[in-house]
Structure 1
Amino acid sequence: MEAGHWPDEAIQFRSCHSVDEQAALLDTWNQSYCQLSRGLFDGSVRWFMAGGVKVLVEKLNRTVYQRGCVSEHKFALGIPFQLEGHALLSGQTSHLDALHVFSGKDGFEFLSPDQHLFVNLEIEPEAVADLATRAQLEAVIARIGAKSGIVNIAPERLERFRAVLRVLLDSVSAAPRLLADRASVASFEKSIVYGLSEALHEFPDIAPQQRGEARIARNWQLVRSVRDIVEGSPDCPLSVAELCARMHASRRTLQYAFEEATGINPLAYMRAVRLARVRQELMHAATVTEVATRWGFWHFGNFASEYREQFGELPSETWRRNRM
């Protein structure tokens, strides 16, 4: 799966050097990404269609706060091949031995870690031609449920499904013309759907203790509320003291919630979100200074240094690149 690019128009590949560029590639997921950990971003997406199944292989090398919403007519889930570090999906603890469900009318929020390699499956049931396969898919969806979150799987069963995916992806990589063959596409759909069904068969409930999950969910909700405040307008909190006043919460409450939910403190989180908004607005801004001050960065030397630590380049370099 990692051996080179898939050399055919039916199989697309893009490497990305910003989270916004990568989020745009998952266009049907209505994604927005915010980079939290510092350093140059290096990501990629490979994708192709096989009948009613769209496969997206996504790599990330930075902690990213993702938000999105998949069309209600589609079922979307991710299978982790590499997931190292603190991660949450819609307030639930994310880990390697779990299916990650991204579909559902309420959308999803995903805190993904620095080391992240997922095979994402976007499936449109009505586009699956074989009626028996479609019925089996609908049974799988009914069992998983129509809400984003974590579905824990027995590790050996999920590893068998990963093996199925490796074989499918390697075969398509070696012979992209298979995607133009109706019988091969039908076989691909069956392998995905029945492989999922087998992975879900008699899986044990290995979810963490409900009390701990409830606490994580509350902290995650607090983080979401803060993000809405910070992203909503340049008139956002610039200090933890101001944030505490806006949220009617103590500094200790915020500190604990952020460290458990995101792994960083509230001030670092607010700075990361504000820097992300600056980077987005630099695409169309008249000057760097205009955008920096709008988002509360008045010490330009410190701003340039923080921006470079976060994204691996100076703000002036981002600004100039978008004018070429």
Structure 2
Amino acid sequence: MSKDGQNQERPSETCSIRSNDVLEHGRQLRGWRLECVQLSAGAFDGITCELQLDHFQIIRERTNQALIKRGASWPDSIVLSLPLDASGQGWLGGHQLPAGATLLSDGNNLPELRTPTRLDLICVAFSRRWFTIRVIEAGYLRLAEHVWRLERFSIPEQHRLALCALLLSIFEEVERQPSILVHAASREALEDTLLETLLAGLAESVLVTLAEDTPRKQLADQVRYLMLKDPSEAPNLAEICRRLSISRAHLQNCFQLSYGVTATQMIRAARLHGVRSELRDARLSGRQVSIGDVAARWGFWHWSRFTADYRRQFGELPSVTVRPARLSQSRQFKGGRSDSG
């Protein structure tokens, strides 16, 4: 990373990846560490389009299932998330996200999100140090302080729409003419336009207080930890309720009001995710594993019920997941920088 926050090792290029495996989908973005847990049932279909410029990383992500997403982007980054379209409810910190909610987040510690069932999202990641310097140079000293402290903004609707339209047009133009990324002059002009539009939106924004996790979500997360820290010795919900001196109805209510699903649904989805992760790792490493043993370790004792749940959740049987030579994604690269810029 250079002094102004530019990552010199990232060539300008575009990358489009389509995956039918939620585990692979969460590992596609270069420099990011994301975990995605599929919450809703059905075969997963995800498309990630990534455009890497000199100072901006632009990402468009489309998914067809509700996910729990957590992780981090590259060091010193800020991530601006702009939903283009969504079907269903999103959740952050136990709070329902309003339609079109814009998030400006610390890339080193992205907030855990429960995404809507279908989501078309565009994100912009950039260096906090580099962007703060650009903000100061533009004369927005107060804004620079807010950005450096990673405070939350509410961008006016007209600026949000203008920014979304610009980002979509950038993808369209680079798709139509990849040589835009080859020449330093066009890359610089593109980034200047994006920077000006972003500054215009943030300059008109108002600060918003970051809502803390609700007590209900804190309790739900405590239960998630107890249930998943050691799957082979996990207590059941009844035992957890006794341990925490709460009723089962209250526990289910905490999950419903924090994630939009019951505790039973959340824990089942997390355990199925754990099974799928182990089977996928075994397939990639060429190891032979017993599906029944893996399932039992994650608390599934009834074989036919487990396979039915697994198929309902992921659209395939566990035997398909572990099968060798399974193609689950397609990847396309375009562009490429040929000068030192």
TM range (shorter): 0.7 to 0.9
Alpha-carbon distance in 1 for matches of 2:33, 2:117? 22
Q: Are residues 1:266 and 2:302 paired?
A: no
- Quote the sequence identity (%): 26
Q: Which among 72, 76, 87 is matched to residue 69 of structure 1?
A: 72
Q: Tell me the amino acid that sits aligned with residue 307 of structure 2.
A: A
TM-score (ref. length: structure 1): 0.84
Name 1:245's counterpart in structure 2: 242
Q: Which among 305, 308, 311 is matched to residue 308 of structure 1?
A: 311
- 2:29 and 2:50 in contact (8 A); partners too: no
Question: Cα RMSD over matched residues?
Answer: 2.9
Alpha-carbon distance in 1 for matches of 2:301, 2:141? 54
Alpha-carbon distance in 1 for matches of 2:129, 2:206? 30
Alpha-carbon distance in 2 for matches of 1:300, 1:165? 48
Q: Secondary structure at the match of 2:323?
A: helix
Deviation at 1:145, TM superposition (A): 6.0
Q: Secondary structure at the match of 1:31?
A: strand
Name 1:170's counterpart in structure 2: 172
Name 2:46's counterpart in structure 1: 43
Name 2:253's counterpart in structure 1: 256
Q: Tell me the amino acid that sits aligned with residue 232 of structure 1.
A: K
Aligned length: 309
Shift in alpha-carbon separation, 1:269–1:20, aligned structure 2, 3 A? same
Shift in alpha-carbon separation, 1:245–1:102, aligned structure 2, 3 A? farther
Alpha-carbon distance in 2 for matches of 1:144, 1:249? 41
Equivalent positions of 1:132-281 (< 5 A) are 132=134, 135-136=137-138, 142-144=145-147, 146-147=149-150, 151-203=153-205, 217-235=214-232, 237=234, 239-281=236-278
Alpha-carbon distance in 1 for matches of 2:103, 2:29? 16
Name 2:33's counterpart in structure 1: 30
- 2:153 and 2:206 in contact (8 A); partners too: no
Q: Secondary structure at the match of 1:47?
A: strand
- 2:128 and 2:148 in contact (8 A); partners too: no
Name 2:85's counterpart in structure 1: 82
Q: Tell me the amino acid that sits aligned with residue 97 of structure 2.
A: S
TM-score (ref. length: structure 2): 0.80
Q: Secondary structure at the match of 1:98?
A: coil
Alpha-carbon distance in 2 for matches of 1:134, 1:184? 24
Shift in alpha-carbon separation, 1:125–1:239, aligned structure 2, 3 A? closer
Equivalent positions of 1:279-290 (< 5 A) are 279-283=276-280, 284=282, 286-290=289-293
Deviation at 1:160, TM superposition (A): 1.6
Write out per-residue CA displacement over residues 290-319 of structure 1, whole angstroms, 9 at most, x where no aligned residue.
101111111100000000000000111111
Q: Which among 107, 110, 123 is matched to residue 120 of structure 1?
A: 123
Deviation at 1:92, TM superposition (A): 4.4
Listed as ranges, the gaps of 5+ residues in structure 1 are 1-8
Shift in alpha-carbon separation, 1:146–1:319, aligned structure 2, 3 A? farther
Q: Tell me the amino acid that sits aligned with residue 47 of structure 1.
A: E
Q: Tell me the amino acid that sits aligned with residue 171 of structure 1.
A: E
Listed as ranges, the gaps of 5+ residues in structure 2 are 1-11, 283-287, 328-341
